[in-house]
Structure 1
Amino acid sequence: MNVGIIGAGRIAGTLAQTMAGMKTVKLYAVGARSLERAQAFAKEYKAEKAYGSYEELVRDPAVDLVYIATPHSHHAEHAELCINNGKPVLCEKAFTMNAGQAEKIIELSRKKGVFLTEAIWTRYMPSRQIINDVINSGIIGKIRVLTANLSYAMEKKERIVEPALAGGALLDVGVYTLNFAAMHFGTDIERIESSVQMTDKGVDGLESITIFYRDGKMAVLNAGIYTRSDRKGIFYGEKGYIIVENINNPQSVSVFDDSDRLIKKIDVPPQITGYEYELLECEKCLAEGKIESNSMPLSDSLYMIKQMDGLRKDWGLVYPQEK
């Protein structure tokens, strides 16, 4: 599978590094805002082709899949460009800036019969099933509470702080906490409450989100752009608790009893970077003629972006393009 990347930033580099360690998936082309930038990226990561525009890349008949690695503000525009040129899409999270954009590209994908999926890598990883298997085993009894946090010191990054780039903690790291809760507690939600601290530029810098489920469970989620957090996900049950190390790329699952004794630990399988799982699923889906992924169906991407729209509405966070 020949992959073309739109965008030549850090995440694009990580994906390129991943493909260098894969047997059936390879980095074929990169498109950037300038030919010089694309050529530098292609040289570093050994891509065959470098294009000085995204339009040129999507018109290359040898490209089998396009990975969109541009800021959140441009995901919908670039996904539309790919789909209109018949190119299957793996779009970096957050899927789009808002639900209106998501609905538009999903409709276009289905109309044209072109594959589209969101690159929220934790949805594709083996750790997802490992965590659910431990939860469902009943090893800590009935679980009532989940906590998850994810924050990094990112306040100097332009794509994080600029409203015009759909910046803020929610679409970049909060999306992982919300997906963590959805993957392991489901979506039968009674209500959501939240609090937020906005930055000087008017995007969300810190947030705490509490999700109340109809079956009595509760998820408490924290995200931010100022500090490095421990990134843990913890499930609390009647007979103990389960700690997931790093919800952004789970490394291990540890089970403790109600006396704080470690009674079980599962390490996740070795990986290249963790990005390989979404690429392998795309390869499988394309081989089977599918237009969406089982691990992250388009309905799930739309659900998550609607959830984030609701939070932003509560916070009064409107991006310039939405006004």
Structure 2
Amino acid sequence: MTKTIRWGIVSAGKISHDFVNAVNSYPHKGDQQIIAVAARDKERATDFARLHNIPKVFDSYLDLAKSNDIDVAYIGALNPDHYNLAKLFLEHGKHVLCEKPLCLNLKQAQSLISFAEEKKLFLMEAVWSRFSPVYLAFEKEIQSGKLGDLKHVEVNFGVPIINVDRLRKKELGGSAILDIGIYTLQFAQFVFKDEPVKVTAVGNLNEDGVDIVQTVVLEYKDDRRAVLNVDARVKLWNNATVVGTKGRITIEEPFHFPDTFINAEGNIVKIPLHTSNIDYNFQNSAGLVFQSLEVSRCIRAGLLESPQMSHRESITLAKLEDTIRKQLGVHFEVDDQEFP
């Protein structure tokens, strides 16, 4: 492994833009560098590289995967491409950070994780929330015992994206639970740690059979419960509250990567993010840099997974997503396929 961790960016879409911008503009990113970008549209990749000062451009994902110029790939492609692209880069000896959801279903996720472990390469689902400074401070509050025994979690995530193709079209892996709902699921798991003993989901589908709104109740042992509201039609008050026998903590909007929370004493705690000269597409995207720092740390340490976003966590999320989709009647073609 070279001293500098060299990144290759897979696809030149909005989330890839934000990831690259977050890394490049962070003053403490350490010894990591974004070396190359690949997209199916060479012109788009070239424009992307020019904007972000990326030295190498590829018009083929395969060529980037074969390249000796990179150590790790960031996959920001659409959901249906995650499994095949991640496997492609792993096949060619590259570590992988893949946007959430890791795959479209549990079978794909299990297959991909097994393949990465077999290849002895690092693989992580890009659940960037787990590396938020606010989440880390919030977890210390919980561990201090200030909340007592944790009993209830409530999370809301609603944004009006019902007409966005990546969400509304089944062939693009559209699904509110996979797009924004995953943030609510990971928050509940971040708090309660173990798998729910019961999952109940109600919701609505669009004309393409894609879930657009749902309320999910996760029941855990010891009478603990999470209530999750997900809506692609309207904007909700996108915060999260954790209640224990001694008190509560509220993660302010946007809970999925916040800069503010209300601690157990009722005080407002702010942890600002760094700034950039280039605009972001999504709120608080500057925080995407923290997962790149974790990937770099893990690779240098010879780890195949991150303790903060482990393979087991990705498997649990995939199980929950499958269960919720099944209860709502959302079916993908890949659900009928088997993966090695």
TM-score, L = length of structure 1: 0.93
* Aligned partner (choices 292, 296, 308) of residue 305 of structure 2: 292
* Aligned partner (choices 6, 15, 18) of residue 19 of structure 2: 15
CA contact (8 A) 2:199 2:323 kept: no
DSSP 3-state at the match of 2:287:
coil
Deviation at 1:100, TM superposition (A): 0.8
DSSP 3-state at the match of 1:301:
helix
Q: Does 1:315 align with 2:328?
A: yes
Residues in 2 aligned to 1:242 and 1:305: alpha-carbon distance in whole angstroms: 27
Task: Give the corresponding residue for 1:189.
Answer: 196
**Aligned residues: CA RMSD:** 1.7
Residues in 2 aligned to 1:211 and 1:321: alpha-carbon distance in whole angstroms: 26
Residues 74-83 or 12-21, more deviating: 12-21
Deviation at 1:68, TM superposition (A): 0.4
Residues in 2 aligned to 1:19 and 1:133: alpha-carbon distance in whole angstroms: 26
Structure number with the bigger relative contact order (C-alpha 8 A, sep ≥ 6) is: 2
Residues in 2 aligned to 1:8 and 1:34: alpha-carbon distance in whole angstroms: 9
Question: What is the count of residue pairs matched by the alignment?
Answer: 318
Cα displacement string for residues 21-65 of structure 1 (whole angstroms, at most 9, x for unaligned residues): 234222211110121111111111111111111111111101111
Q: Does 1:227 align with 2:226?
A: no
Residues in 2 aligned to 1:99 and 1:54: alpha-carbon distance in whole angstroms: 25
Deviation at 1:139, TM superposition (A): 3.2
DSSP 3-state at the match of 2:35:
strand
Which stretches of structure 1, 4 residues or longer, exceed 6 Å deviation after superposition?
none
Task: Give the corresponding residue for 1:259.
Answer: none
Residues in 2 aligned to 1:217 and 1:136: alpha-carbon distance in whole angstroms: 17
Task: Give the corresponding residue for 2:294.
Answer: 281
Within a 5 Å distance, the mapping from 1:231-270 to structure 2 comes to: 231-245=238-252, 246-255=254-263, 263-268=266-271, 270=273
Residues in 2 aligned to 1:284 and 1:6: alpha-carbon distance in whole angstroms: 21
Residues in 1 aligned to 2:108 and 2:246: alpha-carbon distance in whole angstroms: 44
Cα displacement string for residues 153-211 of structure 1 (whole angstroms, at most 9, x for unaligned residues): 11221111110111110001110100000001222422111101111211000010011
Residues 116-125 or 142-151, more deviating: 142-151
DSSP 3-state at the match of 1:182:
helix
Tell me which amino acid in the other structure corresponds to 1:10: K
Deviation at 1:240, TM superposition (A): 4.1
* Aligned partner (choices 209, 219, 235) of residue 212 of structure 1: 219
Deviation at 1:322, TM superposition (A): 3.1
